[in-house]
Structure 1
Amino acid sequence: MSAKFMTRASHSLHQGPLAIGRIFMLIVTIPYYNIFWYNNLNSVSRILAAESDSIKLIDAANGWMDKKSSELKFVQVASAIIAAAVIASFSWPNIGTDYWLCPALWYSSLVLAGFALLVSSQQVAIIESFGKISIDSSEQDLLRVINSIVRLKRVGSGYELSWNSVYIWQSSMMSLSYSWCAYMAGLTLHVCSPLIMGKRSGPEFRTAIMFIVVAGFTCINFSWCSYWVYAKSTKRDD
C-alpha cells in the first residue's frame, strides 16, 4: 500500500473534533491497542481512503469484515476461557481470607467476560448477515456494510470517521481485555495477600515475592514487544 494512500486516511483521523474521539479511544484501548489499530483504525482508514473507487471500497469492506469476524470469534473463545478461570478460582482455598478487592475484581471480570461473549456473538451474526461483497453485489448491499462502519459527511459528499461506530465494533474486545486485567489484578491480590496482611516470612511470603518478580518481568516484556510490533507495523516510507 502506498504512503499516499494511507496518509489521506490517517489525516482524516486527526481533524477537528475527531481528535477528541481519538484521544478517548487511545486511552480506553491501551491494553490492546495493537489489535485495535490493526482490526479497526487501519481497516476503517482503508475504507475512507477508497472514497469513490468502488473496487477499493469493496476490497476494504471485505477486509474489515474478515478481520472483525476473526477478532469476534477469538473474543468468544477467550471470554469463555476467562469466565471458566474465574469460576474455578473461587474454589481455591483461603479465598474467604483474601482482601475484599480480590473477589470484587473477579466478579467484575466474570461480568465483563459475559458481556464480551454476548456482544461478540451478536456482532458475528450481523457480519455473517452481510455476506461477502463482490463487484456483482448491489449498491444497497455495499452500503449496508459501509454505513455500519463509517458515516456520511455532514457537509459535502463522501464518508467520514464515526468514533461511535468504532467504539461499538471494538466493545467486545474492550470488555475481554478489561476482564483479563481484572482477573489478573484479583489474582495478584490473592497471591500477595500475605504481604497485605503484614506477613514477612514463610512459604506464602516467598510465593508472593516470586509471583511479583515473574509478573513484573512479564508485564515489561509484553509492553516492550507490543510497542515495537506496533511501531514496526505502522512505519511508512517517506
Structure 2
Amino acid sequence: MAGKLPLPSTQETSSRMSPALNFATLARAIGRVTQVLQRLWNVIETLIIRIATLPYYRLYHFNTINPLRNLAYLASSPNPDTKKLHSTLSSWRTRKLNELQFTTISCTVLAAAVIGAFSWPTLSTAHWLTPGFWHTSLILSILGILLSASEITVLNLLGPVRYTAAAAASSHLPSPSSSSTSPSNVGSGGGDGLHDATMKRYMPLLLSPVMIKEDASGGGGAKQYYVPRRKMVFTWQAPLMFMSYSVCAFLAGLTVLVGVPIVRGERKGTWGDEGWNIAVMYLTAFGAGLAAFVYCSFWVYHYVHAEHDGIERDEYREVGPWGVFAAGYD
C-alpha cells in the first residue's frame, strides 16, 4: 500500500525503552539498599542503647521509654482520649518524680562514700586506675544530684496532671487543624485530648510529631503521628544513667584496689600474703553478690508489667491501664 510506514524493529523498540527500564530498576535497587541500611542502622542503634543502658536497663524501660511509647501510641490515635492521655501522663510523672528523688538520695550517699574512701591509707600505693575511677564516680554522682534537682523543678513547674470536667470540655473544642468533632465523643472522656492545656505543657518535653505520606488511595496526603522525642528520652533518663555509671566506677576502682595483688602475682606464699587473701575473699564475695543481684533484678521485674504504677484509677476497671489491654488486666 502506497504511503505505508515501516514498523520499528524489535531492537529499536527495546533501545528506546531501555533508559526508562534502567531508571526504574535503579530506583528499585536504591530503595532496597536504603531499606537494608535502615534496618541495619536500627539493629545497631538498638544494640548500642542496650549496651549503654545495661546497668539500669529495666528501670530505663519501666520509667522512661515504655511509658513514653504508650503515650505516643495514644496521642497518635485518630481521636485521642483526654482521660486516657491524662492517666498515662500522670503515671509517667509519678514514676519519674519517684525515680529522681531516689537518684538524688543515692548519688548523695555515693558521693559521701567516695569522699570517705579518699582518706584510706592504702590509696597512696594503689594503682592509678583506682583514684581515676573514684574521681569519675564522684563527678558523675554530683552531676546526677544537680540534674535530678533540675528535672524535679521542671516537673513541679509544669504542675500535676488531673482529669477534670473542664479539661474534658476544652478537649472537645475544635482545633485549628480540625473542622469538627464527633458528637459521639462528647461527654465520654474522648475527643482531641492533645489540645488540652495540660497536654500542651508536657508534649514538647515528651513527644515529637512526625509526618508520613499516605498511599495513592488516601489522596496523596500526609498523616501526623507521634514518637518519643529522642533528645528528651536521653534527658529524662540521664540522672539514672549518671547514678548507675557512678556506682560502676566506684566498684571498678575498689576492685582494682583490692585485686591488684592477684593481677601482679605479689604473694609470699600460697596463702601467706594478707593482700592476696583479702583479694580472693573480696572477689569471691563480689562475684557471688553480683550474680545474686543480677538474678534478683531480673525476676523482680519479670512478672511486673510496665503499665502498673500502684495508683488506683477508675478507668483501669473499664479499658485497662493504658487503654490498650483488655479490662481486668490489672
Q: Which one has a bigger Cα radius of gyration?
A: 2
CA-based RMSD of the aligned residues comes to 2.3
Query: Which residue identity does 2:104 align to in structure 1?
Result: Q
Higher share of residues assigned helix: 1
**2:118 match:** 90
How far off its partner does 1:163 sit?
2.4
**Contact 1:18-1:163 within 8 A present in 2 as well:** no
Match of 2:199 among 142, 149, 154: 142
**Structure 2 Cα separation of the partners of residues 161 and 141 of structure 1:** 17
Match of 2:209 among 146, 152, 169: 152
**1:184 match:** 251
Aligned length: 223
How far off its partner does 1:197 sit?
3.9
**Structure 1 Cα separation of the partners of residues 83 and 42 of structure 2:** 27
Query: Which ranges in structure 1 are unaligned for 5 or more consecutive residues?
Result: 1-14
**Contact 2:71-2:88 within 8 A present in 1 as well:** yes
Change over 3 Å in CA distance of 1:40–1:220 after alignment to 2: same
1:228 matched to 2:299? The reply is yes
How far off its partner does 1:204 sit?
2.0
How far off its partner does 1:20 sit?
5.4
Match of 2:94 among 59, 66, 86: 66
1:57 matched to 2:114? The reply is no
**1:219 match:** 290
Change over 3 Å in CA distance of 1:185–1:86 after alignment to 2: same
Give a deviation string over 1:14-64, Cα, whole Å, max 9, x none: x97766554332221100111111101221132123231111111111111
**Contact 1:61-1:146 within 8 A present in 2 as well:** no
Query: Which residue identity does 1:210 align to in structure 2?
Result: M
Query: Which ranges in structure 2 are unaligned for 5 or more consecutive residues?
Result: 1-37, 171-195, 213-222, 307-324
1:77 matched to 2:134? The reply is no
1:116 matched to 2:187? The reply is no
**Structure 2 Cα separation of the partners of residues 76 and 38 of structure 1:** 19
Give the TM-score normalised by the residue count of structure 2: 0.63
Change over 3 Å in CA distance of 1:55–1:19 after alignment to 2: farther
Helix, strand or coil for the counterpart of 1:151?
strand
**1:202 match:** 273
**Contact 1:105-1:183 within 8 A present in 2 as well:** yes
**Structure 1 Cα separation of the partners of residues 209 and 274 of structure 2:** 62
Change over 3 Å in CA distance of 1:226–1:145 after alignment to 2: same
**Contact 1:58-1:133 within 8 A present in 2 as well:** yes
Query: Which residue identity does 2:201 align to in structure 1?
Result: R
**Structure 1 Cα separation of the partners of residues 61 and 197 of structure 2:** 28
Change over 3 Å in CA distance of 1:175–1:208 after alignment to 2: same
Query: Bigger shift: 189-198 or 38-47?
Result: 189-198
Runs of 4+ in 1 over 4 A off after TM superposition: 15-21, 234-237
Query: Bigger shift: 18-27 or 142-151?
Result: 18-27
Percent identity between the two aligned chains: 30
How far off its partner does 1:226 sit?
2.1
How far off its partner does 1:140 sit?
2.9
**Contact 1:47-1:60 within 8 A present in 2 as well:** yes
**Contact 2:73-2:226 within 8 A present in 1 as well:** no
**Structure 1 Cα separation of the partners of residues 45 and 236 of structure 2:** 15
- Report 1 or 2 for greater relative contact order, CA contacts < 8 Å, sequence distance ≥ 6: 1
**Contact 1:25-1:167 within 8 A present in 2 as well:** no
Query: Which residue identity does 2:205 align to in structure 1?
Result: S
1:102 matched to 2:130? The reply is yes
**Structure 1 Cα separation of the partners of residues 233 and 292 of structure 2:** 29
